[in-house]
């Protein structure tokens, strides 16, 4: 099962607006499939925004988007992107 999933296209995709991020880490913590990590880069306010370290895991559930207090991230289903 896990094998077949991996070989497939990811189901979802996250979009990050780094400039709006205040680095609270909610999205990273509560992403159910552990897609996100703090990046090493700073935004102009000096926060580390998240980055999709494991984009292939993204299901497009948008939980990161719901948690984000700064409207800096959201996830969508691949179907919707295409």
Token pair belonging to 71: 């409207």
Residue 78 near other proteins by CB under 8 A? no
Q: According to CB under 8 A, which one of 12, 36, 52, 74 is a site residue for other proteins? A: 74
CB of 6 or CB of 30, closer to other proteins:
30
Token pair belonging to 61: 């559930």
- Tell me how far apart the alpha carbons of residues 82 and 79 are, in angstroms, rounded to a whole number: 5
- Tell me how far apart the alpha carbons of residues 58 and 43 are, in angstroms, rounded to a whole number: 23
Residue 80 near other proteins by CB under 8 A? yes
Token pair belonging to 18: 């780094």
Residues that bind other proteins (CB under 8 A): 15, 17, 20, 22-26, 29-30, 47, 62-63, 65-71, 74, 76, 80-81
């Amino acid at each position: 099962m896990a094998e077949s999933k991996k070989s497939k296209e990811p189901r979802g995709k996250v979009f990050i607006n780094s400039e709006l991020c205040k680095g609270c880490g909610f999205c990273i913590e509560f992403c159910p499939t552990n897609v996100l990590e703090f990046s090493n880069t700073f935004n102009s306010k000096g926060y580390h925004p998240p980055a999709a370290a494991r984009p292939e895991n993204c299901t497009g559930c948008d939980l990161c988007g719901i948690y984000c207090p700064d409207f800096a991230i959201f996830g969508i289903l691949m179907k919707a992107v295409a």
